[in-house]
Amino acid sequence: MEKASEFNSLAFLFYLEIMNIGIPKEIKNQEFRVGLSPAGVHALQKDGHQTWIETNAGLGSGFTDEMYLQEGANILPTATEVYAAADLIVKVKEPLAAEYDLIKKGQIIFTYFHFAASRELTEAMLRSKAICFAYESVELSDRSLPLLIPMSEVAGRMAVQVGSYYLGKPQGGKGKMLGGVPGVQPAHVLILGGGVVGTQAAKMAAGLGANVTIMDTNLSRLRYLDEILPANVHTQFATSHAIQSHLSQVDLLIGAVLLHGTKAPQLIKKEDLRKMELGTVLVDVAVDQGGCIETCKPTTHENPVYEIDGILHYCVANMPGAVPQTSTLALTQATLPYIQLLANLGWKEASTSNEALNKGLTIYEGKLFHPGLAASFNL
């Protein structure tokens, strides 16, 4: 809240002109999130801007056209018309090939791009001469990533929900309840990595009454977690020896480690599966960075689990996609202050006045502003 009011007063000082903000419907397979909620429309209309929403763009997240209309948005029948009307496009996923030609020179695009994963997308955005701000690159001075944190929060909490479900016998699990019952011991949950995902998972598992251990290699983080987490969560420094000591009793293991800019370290090897009881559940949230379990390979919401040596693996790479109502609200409350900055100040003033947003500026009128990306694509 403090940040938002800081942003708004700054925006008021530099108020420039009315901006047209477009929200197309996401077209990526199984993507139900939307770039802006009706509450976001309300805030932008209040700042004096116009919002243009593609019809049914919010339906997958529980927002009807009527809900947007009530806040003063305009509804357009096609993505082509939304892109044509907008100075600033706010999305969730990277533009797909069908969208490349809709993007205009000088148009601001604010979304998750993950450019490093696609040379084709990078070249298409360079050709379009649009101004691309990538959610995943917006970075605060403490090096945290404010537009990735909400999705880690969702995935961390979800890891316990899905883990608990797959522990059920009909799903192939051991047939154990996380919290036990009076007179029956609770399940053992081991969480590798005590960052955003790990902390949220620990809170959920502890809330259900499980016996939780959370491990990290960062001792000061463990001290912090020890202060804030309930008594049924134990912190432990992550060594191979410590991890091994848990394998014979663990019921649910959650992989939540991250080494910035590189692949996740493999903390659980294939031979470790034999040390676990049949029906143990592994949820490797770090699958998007290669996973911290050797036997992890990416799965989808349609087919989320597979079994190796009697151990269930859940390795869905886009976990927040399963809960779009929660995920859209979590994402849009984090993006809104930056959208307001871009709309109220214009992209140049917004990015020079806000260091975090400036870090998100990746492509500008045909030029790449990211040395790592330029080097990896030889551009």
Distance between CA atoms of residues 264 and 227, nearest Å: 27
Shortest distance, position 49 Cβ to ligand NAD, whole Å: 30
Which residues, 182 to 201, sit near ligand NAD by CB under 6 A? Answer: 192-198
Q: State how far the alpha carbon of 225 is from the alpha carbons of 214, 222, 232, 236, 361, in Å.
A: 9, 5, 12, 10, 33
8 A C-beta contact, residue 209 and residue 179: yes
Nearer to ligand NAD, 80 or 218 (CB): 218
Binding region for ligand NAD (CB under 6 A) out of 222-230, 254-262, 334-342, 355-363:
254-262
**Is 334 a residue that touches ligand NAD (CB under 6 A)?**
no
Residue whose structure tokens are 């960062």: 218
**Is 114 a residue that touches ligand NAD (CB under 6 A)?**
no
Handedness of CA 254, 260, 263, 268 (dihedral sign): negative
Binding region for ligand NAD (CB under 6 A) out of 6-14, 83-91, 116-124, 280-288:
280-288
Q: State how far the alpha carbon of 16 is from the alpha carbons of 40, 42, 198, in Å.
A: 20, 19, 42
Binding region for ligand NAD (CB under 6 A) out of 13-21, 110-118, 125-133, 279-287:
279-287
In 3-state terms, what secondary structure has residue 308? strand
Distance between CA atoms of residues 364 and 312, nearest Å: 45
The residues, any chain, with a CB within 8 Å of residue 182's CB and separated by 6 or more, are none
Q: How far apart are the first and last CA of the chain?
A: 40
Distance between CA atoms of residues 203 and 242, nearest Å: 21
**Is 155 a residue that touches ligand NAD (CB under 6 A)?**
yes
Q: In the bound complex, which residue of the shown chain has the CB atom lying closest to ligand NAD? A: 195
Nearer to ligand NAD, 79 or 330 (CB): 330
Which residues, 220 to 249, sit near ligand NAD by CB under 6 A? Answer: 221, 238
8 A C-beta contact, residue 362 and residue 133: yes
Residue selected from 21, 287, 361, 363 as contacting ligand NAD according to rule CB under 6 A: 287
**Is 57 a residue that touches ligand NAD (CB under 6 A)?**
no
Catalytic residue among 284, 288, 301, 313: 288
Q: Name the DSSP class of 54.
A: E
Q: Is 288 a catalytic residue?
A: yes
Residue selected from 233, 257, 342, 361 as contacting ligand NAD according to rule CB under 6 A: 257
Taking Cα atoms as reference points, which of 254, 265, 260, 283 lies closest to residue 192?
254
Catalytic residue among 114, 142, 234, 260: 114
Residue selected from 87, 99, 139, 216 as contacting ligand NAD according to rule CB under 6 A: 216
Q: What does the per-residue mask of binding to ligand NAD show for 307-326, with x meaning CB under 6 A? A: ----------xxxx------
Where in the chain does DSSP place strands (E)?
20-23, 50-54, 74-76, 88-90, 108-111, 131-134, 188-192, 211-216, 233-237, 252-255, 281-284, 305-308, 311-314, 361-364, 367-368
Nearer to ligand NAD, 13 or 242 (CB): 242
Q: Is 114 a catalytic residue?
A: yes
**Is 103 a residue that touches ligand NAD (CB under 6 A)?**
no
Shortest distance, position 291 Cβ to ligand NAD, whole Å: 9
**Is 373 a residue that touches ligand NAD (CB under 6 A)?**
no
Nearer to ligand NAD, 191 or 343 (CB): 191
Residue selected from 286, 334, 336, 363 as contacting ligand NAD according to rule CB under 6 A: 286
Active site amino acids: 114, 288
Interacting residues with ligand NAD (CB under 6 A): 151-152, 155, 192-198, 215-218, 221, 238, 256-259, 264-265, 267, 285-289, 317-320
